[in-house]
Structures are given as structure tokens and as C-alpha cells.
Structure 1
Amino acid sequence: MTRPMRRKAVLAPLAASAGALALVLTGCGGGGGSTTATSFTYLINSENTMIPGQITALSENQCKAENTALPLKVETVPQTNLDQKLQLLAGQNSLPVMYAAGNAPDLTKTLDGSGNVVDFEQALTDLDALDDIEPAAISTIKALYGGKFNVLPYQYNIEGIWYNKQIFADAGVEIPQTWDELVTAADTISKTGVTPFSASGEQGWPLTRLVGDYLFRDLGADALQKVADGDAKLTDPEYVEAAAAVADLGAKGYFGQGVGSIDYDTAAQQFLTGKAAMFYMGSWILESMNDETANQIGIDNVGFMPFPAVEGGTGSIDEYPANVGLPTTMNAKLYDDKVGDWLGCIAENYGSAALQDQGTISGFKTNTEVTGVAPLTQEIQTTISESTSSVLWFEALFSTKATTTSQTNAAQLVTGAISPEEFMQLVQADLDN
């Protein structure tokens, strides 16, 4: 796709906040206080090779001119050390041009307050490139970052229920549109001797995702924002109802035996070997779905459906739970025309290149024709493209302590070891402290 010449604009740095992270570290190629970058330095966690690999590929092809003007330089740090590294570099005014934004939104918000984060809504508008970003991805980012579009969606995942088409057909089950229909379908499938749902109680979050989704469908997209704002509590009856609905699935045995000791890989294997009819998971599982060795039920036998509506609820079935993985941002203090050229080129080309080269989905639109993509992957890409808004997940706005409490008690919730009221009380207590 050829785009007309874009207007370039220099984005002014955001106002620095008092008490910015005043820590010391020797420079990391970010500029050491300079307002002009000499290279397009990208700092990312060493575990992630996909994104820097794709940016490197762009630098040798679609973004070759931008790379000549401002050469790409990739630097890495272990993810466990990422937050500390970012804080140290910010204190030294040495953050690179582009960097992984940290393991929690709060750090990005702090860096934003000290003028180290680009306002991408403004920058991409100035570059006539805002339309290169999927609206659903922007919705997810704004929900995570206090209404601001300040990270880039190199990774974008939607979540829903993957299902075994053959098991559904054999049981005479249609795709459920409501929660009650989902429970009925699980009951019908259970009577055939197949486990209705595969889930990891050891990780916990695949179960708490269900609680959050029920809340979003029942109370609306702002259900957990109200909890974060102090306008509601998880112990309120309508919130406990969501935990009770998921606990009821466990009480009826729909998660099978030993759910509390099942890890992520085992849960995925149960679905991919036909031992479970449904599997709630994000679109990152597509890699396994498209792996003929791992997926023994066959890719054509896998369907995807949204979390169903709750009858009488105010939420929309079209709002998919979503996340942007470990996001990336840019340094507002080093943003100039050359960096803007890079941003515009990435926005225009990354979505198509990542889908074509790696079969991975991002929050960038696919602006050129992509061939040879697995049908299920293309289906999910189309679903994302047709979505205009999204919701988060149960713990997205929780503190670290509350998140841990939620996930470590999820298995107890579905096995009946604790009641729905007790589960919500435990998590709310951490939110209150």
C-alpha cells in the first residue's frame, strides 16, 4: 500500500513532574540528556525475540529509508530486570528512543508524568497514521492507561472460548449465545462423558478470567473500573453473583477432575487432544492451534466464540476481553522528525508484515494483502478488525497483592473449598489496603 506524503510534526515533551525517578545509571544509548537521537535505539526484554526481529526485518525492507536516516539498534534486558532498568534510565534522562513500557501500567504512567512517553494519539494524527491502528486496540490501551493512548500494540490478543466442533456436533449443541445456554451446553456435553471445560487451576487466571467476563457482560464494561475507583466493591451482591456463577460450573464438575493441580500446558493439551470440549484462552494460543503436532483434533475442528451474554445484563457480547502483551512506548524527549518517520513506517507496515512473516496478530491494521495465513488466524484477525471496543480482565486494575490473592484462590473457588463470598472478600481486602 502506497500512502501519500505525510505531514511530520515534532511532538513536544510532556511536562516533567516533580520528584521524577532520580536514580543513577551509566547511559544505555538513549541520549544521556541529549534531545536528538543518533540511532533508533530499542530496549526490550530479552525473552521477546519476535518484535525486535520484525522491526529489524522492516528496517531492511519497508523502512529502509528510515533506517538509513536513523539506524536501528536493539538492546535487551531480562524481563525481571526491566522495571528497575527503566527507572534507572529515566532518572539519568537516558531512556532510549523506543522501549518496552514495563510490567505494569503504573510504571508507564509514572514515566508519562516525567515527560518520557509519547502521546501516540497526537503523534499518529499528525502523521496521518492513526487509522493504521485497530480501534479495539486503542480501546484496550486507553482502558489500561487511564484514557491515554501511550503504548504501541505490537502484540494484541483477544480472548474467548475455543470449542471442539465435532464434540459440539456429536452432542447436538449449538454455539451458546447466553450464559444460561453455555451452562446447558456444558451439562449436555458432560453427559456424553467429555469434560466440558479445560482450565488451569494451578495458574488461576484462566478461571478468574471467567469471573471478570461475567461481570462485564452483566454489569457493563466499566464494572471493574468502578471497583478501582471505589464506587463499588467486589463484595457487593451483584459482584459476588459472578463468582458464584463460575463456582457453580466447578460444583457441577464441568472442569473435570483435579482442576486445582492442572497447569497451563496440561489444560491446553486436554483441549488439543479432544479430552475437553471448550477452552477459555487468548489468541496467543493460535501458535499451538496451528501446530499439527500439538493440535491432534485438527485445525478445521477448532471454533472460536465470544464469552456469552448474561441475560438481562448491560454488557455487549461484541466487546472481547483483550490485552496488548508487554507493550512498547517511545521517549517523548527524543521524538523528532526522524523518529516520526520511523513511527509512521511502523504503523503502516507492521501489521501486515507480522501476519505475513510470523503469522502473528498485532493491533496494527493489515494494509497490504497477506497470503498463506492459517484460516483460524485470519478469522481472529478479521474479528479484531471488526471490533471497535474491548474490555480488560478481572485483575487488570488490581494491585499486585490483590492479583496474587485472586489467582491463588481461584481453584478453591471452583472446587468449593471457599465460597464465592469468601473469595471476593479476600480479594477486596487486598484492594482496600
Structure 2
Amino acid sequence: MGKIVLKNGTIVNEGIVQESDILIVDDVISKIAKDISDADAEVIDVSGMHILPGVIDDQVHFREPGLTHKGTIATESRAALAGGITTFMEQPNTTPQTTTIEKLEEKFATASNSAFANYSFLFGGTNDNLEELKRLDKNACSGIKLFLGSSTGNMLVDDEKVIENIFSNTEMVISAHCEDETTIRENLAKYKSQYGDDIPVELHPIIRSEEACYLSSSRAIALAKKTGARLHVFHLSTGKETDLFRNDIPLEQKKITAEVCIHHLWFTDADYANKGTLIKWNPAVKTATDREMLWNALLDDRIDVIATDHAPHLLEEKNNVYTKAPSGGPLVQHALNAMLEKVKDGTITLEKMVQKMCHNPAILFQIEKRGYIREGYYADLVVADLNNPWTVTKENIAYKCKWSPFEDTTFSSKVIHTFINGHLGYSKGQFSEKRNAKRLTFNRP
């Protein structure tokens, strides 16, 4: 690929903001210094712009195989590049589900021919695949995914003995969707008897309630403490849950960690009136107080990672009545923009945002040579202009489903360039047709 010099950028990395140049040689960062000069290098002037590490998204649903009318690894990973996400970890609730080593490797084979961003997958735990899980090499993929509450794909794991056996039989990170199924079913039955299928969507956070979330996450955490398992709780949505997590030890030493998603940091239950089922997620978007408490936990390091839970559905599917409208929405193209908006209004610093979206996922999943701007690391880089307003419209949405919960939102910042292993995969609204993605590797002793 040759050499590229990024000139005059403002690098944000490891808590430091500094002006510097970056020399990329082939797929790695070769040198970080001021006034780099190389006669053989292509020079890209990024004066006035910020250079961030490529974002690592630890939770996406790209819908391949089996649900490719909603999205594919190719379409959604390309959209991710437009949003500065250079690495994704895809979930197992596809059709067929990723619950055998054979199906896992089939996904890797598909991604090797179609992904535009670096990739790995989570292996799905079920009520009956413990022996297959035991055979899984700890460096084979991102980790294990358990649905302790039902969601798209019906992979609910509800056998308590099975859950304990899984917790006791893997060294890998166990990422869990935590909602108590009994509570949800009782709540749903109550409102279905009152409204039929056309339940007001404003009742979604009452049906998939704070109690449902807390019961499940607290139970999972207690089991992780009992078994010594490495537990990562996906998409916290309630303030109450945040007190279950620690901030008094470094991330590298934590056995129990937490993630929050963009939609739970941005929307509240007041937004159902305008957005309807477009913001129907599992777990549900809840109150303004919950959102404030999630932000507080993110900022004081009880919550470790920001992710998207990108989950595209067709617009006609989302526009169904409550019980038939699927939960989830597309977010990878706009997540970084949304967070940069929170940087602009002073909610979070740029350095802290980079920590939560880039550094911490790399630490948590022990990813090799990614998540930082360091010499010798892969050149996964995002160049963003923090003063370049633009509005989300159907015409500039890259998702296959062609809608976004952020439609008509004006963001102050814009992703200008995204480098993937040293290759300019996205630049000024245009995508490269060349794929330069790599399968993630891990450093798990």
C-alpha cells in the first residue's frame, strides 16, 4: 500500500491531545512525530482536524446469514466506516445461530470476503451447547454471548444450572443481555389483555422494566462472583444497575464490567411520543433520570465501554403495532457523531470518549495492536472535523435499511477520513471498493 503522512492533525490518544504528524507504512503506524517528511509518502493535510483511534464496537447485529434483507456484513461494515468504526464484534442471533464452531468459522469465512471493517464474532451459548462451548479456543473469537432475556432470534438461556456451568467452564469474556423473562412476560400479558397487540409504545419501558433489568443483571453478577467468571454486562439501561459495578480498580483488573449504548445515552421515554417504535430497543430506553445516572456511571468509570447494539430492521417492520414491531435500530454510522455532540456540549471530554469507545474495548477483549494510536499498531484511524455541521437525511444514510433514529438531526462534527489497516476506506462521503479488513487477533495468555 505504500506510505501516507497525515500532516498537522490534532491527535487524541491515551488522555493526551497534541498536534503531530503520523507516518503510515503499509498497514501500521510507523512514526508519530512533528514535522515528518518522507519523499515517498502521499501527504494528506488534516490541519484543524482531530485524529482519533478507530472506534471498536463490541456489539453489533449485521444480520448475516439468514436475515440479509435487513443488512449484510458488507453493507453494515461499510456504513460503520462512515461513522469512524473500524472494528466490530457481531452477535450470534443470526439464522442459523452461531452456536457451533462450524457456524462460527462459516461466519469468519463470509467476513473474510465481504467485511469492510475489522471483524470478530461472539459465540452463542444456549441451553444445550455446553460441550461445544468447552471445545472453543479462547483466542478464536471475541467471546461468549448469553441472552438472559429474550430478544431477536429467540436465543434465551433460562436454565439456571446451564448458566452456572457456562460461567464455570470458560476463560473467555461472557457478554450478557440481562432482562428477567418472567417479569417481562407478566408485564406484557397485563398490557396485552388491556390493549391487544396495539400496546402504546410508551409502555415499552414499563413492560421491559427497571425491575426486569436489575433482577437479571444482579443475578448474573452474583453468579460471576461465585464462579470467578469474566462477565461483561451489555447495554445497561437503568440507573439502579449502575451501583452493581466498581470503579475503584483499573479495567485490566476487573472481572465484572459494563457497557452502555448510544441510544440509552441519547434518548429518554419522552421521545417515544415522536419516535414511536423507531426507538424500541431491548432493553428499553427509560427515563431522563436513568439517562443521567448512566452518564454519571460512564464518567466515573463504573461503566467501561460505549457501543451501538446496531440492529437494523426494515422500516415497514418497525412501523408495525407494538407486539409485531421488532426491537433494535441502526446506529454504527452515527454513533461517533452523537458522542462528539456530547463532547461539544460539555457532557464528556474528548479524551474520555476515546477511552470508552477505543481504548477500553481493546483492553476488555484483549485485542492485539488496536484501539490506540501507537507506533507499531495497526493504522485504524479516524479524522474528524469538529466544526463541520451536517444533517442526517435518507440520501446520506449508508445502512441497507435506509433509515435512522437520527434522521433530521444536525450534528456539529463530521467524519472526514477513516483508515482501515492503513487503507483509506472512507473519505469525504466516498467509500473505497477495496476491502482491507482483518480478522481480529487476541492476546490471551
Range into which the TM-score falls when normalised by the shorter chain: under 0.3
Q: When you count strand as a share of all residues, which structure comes out higher? A: 2
Larger Rg: 1
TM-score calculated relative to the size of structure 1: 0.24
Q: When you count helix as a share of all residues, which structure comes out higher? A: 1
